[in-house]
Structure 1
Amino acid sequence: MMSFGELLCQYTQELAQRWYERWRREGPASPALTEAALKDHLPVQLRVIGEALRVAPAFRESPRELWRQHERLDPEQRVIDAVLIEEVVREYGFLVEEVRAWLEERGEQVSFADYSYFYLAIFELTAESIRRYSKFREERVAQERSEYVAGIAHQLRTPVSALHLSVQQLGRVQGTPEARVLERLRRTVGRLGRLVDGILRLERFKPEELPIHPEMIAPAQVLEQIVADYEHDARSKGLRLELSAPRSARMWADRDLLVDALGNLIQNAIKYTARGFVRISLEEQADAVRFRVEDSGPGISPERQRELFRPVHPGQPGGVGLGLSIAFRAALAQGGALSLESTPGRGSTFLLRLPWRVHAREGLPAAEAESLPGV
């Protein structure tokens, strides 16, 4: 008669297949991810327990110590694959139930001590998975928070440097400062303020929770103001900054969020374009206004494009840079969309599409909205 340890070692694949069939019947939340993360490791883990059980009780490795060796357990891959730890715990429970049912069906008699060791080994396997999962996730969050803060500092560096330069120029001027110096200073302070406001909105609200305060605006004028803010940056790189927008167009939108979106798109286009142009245009459609920010930069690979519009939060893996994240959320919050057309080596075109009439959220009386003329 075979011992419990010998049964586990000899029938590893049969038990793993039995668990797999149970797993499929129960309907996992993430089938492909869970299969990759658990199915490949389960036979190894069963054999580890089986080999331990084949040793005399007095010389067996403790159930907790079984999982100290990295190759026997790989919970980090589950974090990378976004498998919820709750699902991992549930599936180890399936394993205990299936092994017990398998023993009963075969009429196998195992000692209480052996079965208790097996049960504790699975319990410790689950606990170690949770410990490693939590530690790995904590490290990932700390790293991503650091990168996020570094991204904010990088975004702030440019307007702060421009502000410092303007202040130095003011210090050299005797008498009344030149109007152009004061205007540049005003634009830089406004740009810095909008960036800080955008970051705060990103931190505090989900897109569907962002307060929306629409007003009747001329989008061409908004674009002209943003372009004026970035003309110096474009000119310093030798880029043509081109704008084409009908001045007669009127829309009902949140000015701050529109500036968040367009300002970051234009800034990114200038930042990543070494030579050529950045072209901004506005297209009037039947049910929406479409803004185009086109550049002659290096383009974006298909692999990167697939990640580009994943909403991100500090501590969450993947997604886009800070500027595009702000633009993406500003578009979603107003019931719009942000998309991309790009071919590596042939530039990129970001398309911001917003409805003619963005609906208010928190703060605009319904009667006031109803009294406005249609678009």
Structure 2
Amino acid sequence: MGCAEPRIQAWPCTGVVPARRHRTRGQAAASCPTSSDHMTVSNRLHSWPDGAPGEAPGPGSGVSLQLDPGTERQLVNERLFQGVVDATPRTLLLGLLAALTLAIAATWGSGDDDADARHRRLVWTWVGVVTLVLAHGLHTSLAGRKTGPSGGMSSWLARQYTWGSHLCAVLWGAAGWVLIPAPAPWAVVVILVGMSMVLLGASAALAGYRPLVTIHVSLIALVFSAGLLRTWQPEYVVCALGFLLLGATAIFSAHRQEAALSSAIAGQLRIASLVERLQLEQCQSETARQEAVLAREEAERAHAAKTVFMAAASHDLRQPMHAVTQYLAAIARHNQDAKLDASITGAGQAVDAMGKLLEAVLEISKLMSGAVTPKPDVFSLDDLGARRHSYFEPLAVAKGLVLDVGIEPNLLVRTDRMLLDRVIGNLLHNAISYTARGRVVVRVGRRGGLVRIRIADTGGGIARAERERVFEPFYQLGNPGRNRQLGFGLGLAIVREHVKLLGLGLRLTSRVGRGSIFTITLPLCADRRRYARSPVTTDDAASLRNHVADALIVLIDDDDMSLRATETTLQAFGCRVVVGHDADEALEALDAVAACPAAIVSDYRLEGATGLEAVACVKAHCSLRFGSAARVAVLIVSGETSPDELAKVHASGAQMLHKPVRPVVLFKHLNVALHRHASAPHGQEGALTMGESIPPIDVQHARNV
């Protein structure tokens, strides 16, 4: 068989295959699933001819991913070359077998004289040289298979293929000089048939490379025929002419075969090009989808991180504020120097301002991060309006303003009661703060199927250009000196976020020098069956007696500063207090007292546990030792603001106060909790839950102590 040249290009006047330059495909396209059949097309589609600089054509570049004729022809040649390379080892083994067969036929039955011995040595020398050339061809073909068509090939290796193929063709043609004449007629027939098979096999193996197959087959036919003609025997002359005719026929057939293969491969490449384009478009869509998924996951992680950060920041900021509040109240209680009253009062106002600012910043941050979830219910605006009027009327009177509130009775709405109360409170506070004289008017009435809440003032008004900016955090009109009496510039920002969260309508109309009107609209609820009248509030309930004095309180807080400050406040209430940084320390102190506590006051975020877990541990201990766990009230006092953790506290039925807590507020809630446990039947006691309101109590004792 012929020694196939694996890597000579099929275009004229080119003996060396230049290494191709590649450009990197775009990142999105690089992740596309591409089969090995399409890899060559994919690579060559993004190759630049003649080493032209620039980037590979990518999505949106305006470059069509279609094969130009030159690139298509080169890809066809590479496919044909790959087929030759893949078949070369098998072809060379068959060639070696053919050489051995011809040598055996040429030496079979030869005599023992010197001429026959010289002939045998010549034949087997020819076999040895053919074997060496075939081994060299096997080596170069294996090197070509490792390189592959997509990696390019060195000029040296291409020359090895070219000259190896030519040498192999000359050696096969030399069989006519070495093997002929044969010792027997049957051997001549075997040699002629064998060489015909070698010729046809070589033309078939190299059919994809027209110049190479023409040269290779021509060399075999010419050299072998010349060897037959040298005998000038008629039968050998006829065989030589027939062999030349066979060679021409083989070349013609190889050319037709090459054309058919090229056409088929070109069609496959066009299909592969189309598939590549479709895969690239599909990859772009998949990449866009994955990027959208990653963006959503990143946003979710960012949201979760913001929620965790806000909870941690809230807790850590509230702890020292709570301690400062308790210690300042203790200083005020024990102060005997009238000269310090003004300083203590000023410090109290500063701490109160810091607390309000902290609350406002944390609230706007939670709203903007999506950490607040509304809890809608059906209620009447009568109670809400009355409560707001009673709270803000003293503030308006102190500034010499008239607060005029008019509410149409029996208006039911379904929304979050607390958040709507915050919206109305912030708008009223803003109106009173920025109105120097005149009045603030609140009107609540029905308009079609909507309820309209209007809050108007006679302040300085807001220019049209400023009406969007006043809802930005920390932006204030007419307060360049940042006067704290006018707030911190967060009220209207909180209003906007609350309104957006609740899905309410908000409109601002204003005239400079005349005042402003804020209008809130929300749907009217017609289903009165879902309405439950609000529980008794502090304005109409009887006062409670003092249950706090002499009560045994278990206080748990892992922050030592907050623990000691709260202990000081509880002792000032007249309580007996046992303290601990965790449940174990609290139980040790409780065992020393040998009495069942009346209430447990605990921080929520403890080291290694939660306040609920610590409370459960103390109550279990009391149940085992005193059998009175149900009579222990629970109050969680913490800076925790995480929605998930607050939901856990709410589900437990424990009451929760957010630090910083003023002593009067702590006394009030603790007294209510103790009252409920003292007055409820055994087994039906329960801590005040977050959704319940607190009856009014006599807090004069708290103020006095």
Question: Scaled by the length of structure 1, what TM-score is found?
Answer: 0.40
Question: Scaled by the length of structure 2, what TM-score is found?
Answer: 0.22
Which structure: larger Rg?
Answer: 2
Point out which structure has higher relative CO (alpha carbons under 8 A, 6+ apart).
1
